């Protein structure tokens, strides 16, 4: 009877540990994505907010800024140009 309780406790602890590892991996991936695409997302959302408010002049300037951020050169571009 005591051994059965110990087995159940170990399985419960193992499941909790696996859950914590999965949550940590998801958090690390989310932080990485925000670091990579943070500026692009910020400019896209500011364009959307300006469009919803009805400011057409602001939408054009923000849209061009968002397009520049999307086409911004990265280290991947450097590697492909220097082959």
Q: Which residues have C-beta within 8 Å of that of residue 59, sequence separation ≥ 6? A: 47, 50, 51
User: Could you tell me if residue 7 is inside a domain?
Assistant: yes
Looking at residue 73, its pLDDT comes to 63
Expressed as residue numbers, the domain containing 23 is: 2-71
pLDDT in the model for residue 81: 59
CA–CA dist 60, 5 (Å, integer): 66
State how far the Cα of 35 lies from the Cα of 15, in Å rounded to an integer: 31
Q: Is the pTM of this model over 0.85?
A: no
Output the pLDDT for position 8.
65
**76 lies in a domain?**
no
Number of domains in the chain: 1
Residue 81 lies in a domain: no
- 56 vs 49: CA distance, rounded Å: 11
Structure tokens given for 82: 């220097």
In this predicted model, what pLDDT tens digit does every residue of 8-51 receive, in sequence order?
A: 666 777 888 899 999 999 999 988 887 887 777 777 777 777 77
Give pLDDT tens digits for 52-81.
877 666 667 777 777 776 666 666 665 565
């Amino acid at each position: 009877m005591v051994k059965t309780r110990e087995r159940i406790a170990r399985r419960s602890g193992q499941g909790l540990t696996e859950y914590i590892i999965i949550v940590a991996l998801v958090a690390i991936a989310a932080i990485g994505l925000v670091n990579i695409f943070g500026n692009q997302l910020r400019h896209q959302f500011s364009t959307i907010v300006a469009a919803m408010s009805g400011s057409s002049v602001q939408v054009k300037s923000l849209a061009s800024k968002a397009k520049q951020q999307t086409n911004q050169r990265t280290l991947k571009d450097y590697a492909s140009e220097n082959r």
